């Protein structure tokens, strides 16, 4: 597959595997190639349009790269292939106060730039993992079935909705020369901003005291973040933790012993009987 995709984009460098989960991802020189069968071509085209929109608004992102013939997407093997510029820098490992403030400011800038964009991306509850939630959960796990219904009922009708990255964790951004560059917009949905914030929040609650305050201060330097939304984050964090479990149940249909241990922990987090640490 990778040889055929490199030929489409005229790439000659040796490819390296960067990901092989929901999407297949390779680094090829200064480009990143992604193949996925998760979304139809029209929605992938909308994802790229959104990324270009953010770039035009001055948000640092890994920009899409067209083929030499000008195609942004290439249907291949039942899925859709795309290419992006390879983001400089590395994903952060130490979440220092300086980085946390920069992260908050970067996400706020992204939220502000997203206002008014419309495109063919799904509502967050149209995500396949939410659509198939009860099918993914073992039939006998009554507690988890009930938890799915409860966390969704707790946020029913929440809005307004905004196009959001929906997976803005350190694994999907690089720090470079004092700025943050975001990539991997595959999860782009229309959803409440609070649900987008729940992604970094799920990491912040595992950091030393003060991490949340640093992130919030950075965000508020660019855009409003009401106290009520901050106080309401536990409700959205519960939604996020259920979603993460659903994704792993789908990705690991025949889990290894290590994956079974992780699934057990994700289940406890989703049920609210264990806090992240």
Q: What is the pLDDT of residues 154-167, one digit of tens each?
A: 999 998 999 999 99
Instruction: Give the number of other CB atoms < 10 A from CB of residue 238.
Output: 21
30 CB-contact burial (10 Å; exposed 0-12 / middle 13-18 / buried 19+): exposed
Whether residue 265 is predicted with pLDDT greater than 70 in this model: the reply is yes
Q: What is the pLDDT of residue 274?
A: 73
All CATH 3.30.200.20 domain ranges of the chain, comma separated, are 2-85
Give Cα separations from 115 to 52, 155, 175, 248 (angstroms): 14, 22, 25, 31
Query: What value does the mean pLDDT of the chain take?
Result: 96
CATH 3.40.190.10 corresponds to the domain 97-271 = no
Query: What's the confidence (pLDDT) of residue 277?
Result: 52
Identify the helix (H) or strand (E) that includes residue 215. helix 211-220
Mean pLDDT for the stretch of residues 52-66: 98
For residues 93 and 207, the answer to whether their CB atoms sit within 8 Å is no
Q: How far apart are CA 154 and CA 205, in angstroms?
A: 21
**Other CB atoms within 10 Å distance of the CB of residue 7:** 11
Domain with CATH 3.90.1200.10 in the chain: 97-271
248-273 in b/e form (b: 16+ CB < 10 A) is bbeeeeeeeeeeeeeeeebbebbbee
Position 21 scores a pLDDT of 86
Measured CA to CA, the distance from residue 194 to residue 229 in angstroms comes to 7
Length of the chain: 277
16 burial via Cβ count (<10 Å: 0-12, 13-18, 19+):
exposed
CATH 3.30.200.20 fits 2-85, yes or no: yes
The answer to whether 181 and 173 are in contact (CB under 8 A) is: yes
């Amino acid at each position: 597959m990778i040889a055929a995709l490199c030929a489409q984009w005229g790439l000659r460098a040796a490819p390296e595997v960067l990901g092989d989960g929901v999407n297949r991802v390779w680094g090829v020189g200064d480009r990143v190639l992604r193949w996925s069968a998760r979304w139809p071509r029209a929605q992938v085209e909308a994802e790229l349009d959104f990324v270009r929109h953010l770039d035009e608004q001055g948000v640092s992102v890994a920009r899409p790269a067209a083929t030499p013939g000008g195609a942004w997407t290439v249907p291949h093997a039942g899925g859709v292939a795309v290419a992006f510029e390879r983001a400089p820098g590395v994903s952060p490992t130490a979440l220092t106060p300086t980085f946390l403030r920069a992260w908050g400011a970067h996400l706020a800038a992204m939220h502000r730039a997203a206002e008014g964009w419309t495109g063919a991306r799904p509502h967050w509850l149209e995500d396949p993992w939410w659509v198939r939630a009860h099918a993914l959960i073992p039939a006998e796990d009554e507690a988890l079935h009930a938890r799915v219904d409860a966390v969704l009922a707790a946020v029913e009708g929440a809005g307004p909705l905004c196009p959001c990255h929906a997976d803005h964790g350190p694994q999907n951004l690089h720090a470079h020369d004092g700025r943050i560059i975001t990539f991997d917009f595959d999860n782009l949905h229309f959803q409440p901003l609070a649900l987008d914030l729940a992604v970094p929040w799920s990491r912040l609650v595992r950091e030393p005291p003060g991490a949340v305050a640093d992130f919030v201060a950075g965000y508020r330097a660019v855009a409003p973040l009401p106290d009520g939304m901050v106080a309401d984050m536990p409700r959205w964090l519960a939604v996020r933790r259920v979603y993460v479990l659903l994704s792993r149940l789908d990705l690991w249909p025949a889990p290894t012993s290590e994956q079974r241990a992780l699934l057990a922990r994700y289940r406890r987090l989703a049920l609210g009987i264990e806090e992240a640490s």
